Amino acid sequence: MRRFTGILAALALVLVLGAAAFAAPKIGIMTGTVSQGEEEYRAGEEMVAKYGADRVIHVTYPDKFMDEQETTISQVMAMASDPDVKAIVICQAVPGTAAAIDKVKEVRDDILFLLGTIHEEPYMIAGKADILFEIDQPTRGTSIVEKAKEMGAKTIVHYSFPRHMSMPLLATRRDIMEETAKKLGV
């Protein structure tokens, strides 16, 4: 995750610097807090340390992001209120991200949005972001079960919780895992 967030931020910098080499553009980075995902948080900190606080703004979405979507929207809007911000990288794109992009686009259409680990409905948010990065979760539904069987597994247990199962890609992966397990007799 740390490397992934770093790659997203570096890509945003390349895009922004290429588009406006003569100016001093900034990028915004939104990650989880240390308690949500230390690696992505630390990657955001590293981008600030490497490129400077005058070029990179790092904020976090709230720990209780499901209940505090307005905070997520406010954080993104705050980054977008800086006219020098030309790209915003959000990893993970938690619920509220699509609404945040909509709000920003109402006042600024010049900001690039790069999103990783999509929590909202993929096709809906794909129409809002400029670049999405996500693991092929449906294919993992098949490959996890196949690899487990190949390694000698007799039983597959999918352990999760409601918030993750509300994410369309993860719910689809679980369903595919169940179907594949039945087909393979696991």
Rounded to two decimals, the pTM is 0.74
What pLDDT score was predicted for residue 22?
55
What pLDDT score was predicted for residue 134?
83
Domain 2-133 CATH (choose: 3.40.50.80, 3.20.80.10, 3.40.50.11400, 3.30.365.10)? 3.40.50.11400
What are the mean pLDDT values of the chain's consecutive 10-residue runs (186 residues total)? 61 57 81 90 94 95 86 95 96 93 96 92 91 88 94 92 82 93 94
**Residues 133, 139, 145, CA angle at the centre, nearest 5°?**
135
What pLDDT score was predicted for residue 6?
61
> What are the two backbone dihedrals, phi and then psi, of residue 131, each rounded to the nearest 5 degrees?
-140, 135
- Please state the domain extents for the chain: 2-133, 137-184
What pLDDT score was predicted for residue 118?
87
Contacts of 60 (CB under 8 A, 6+ apart): 30, 31, 32, 33, 36, 41, 75
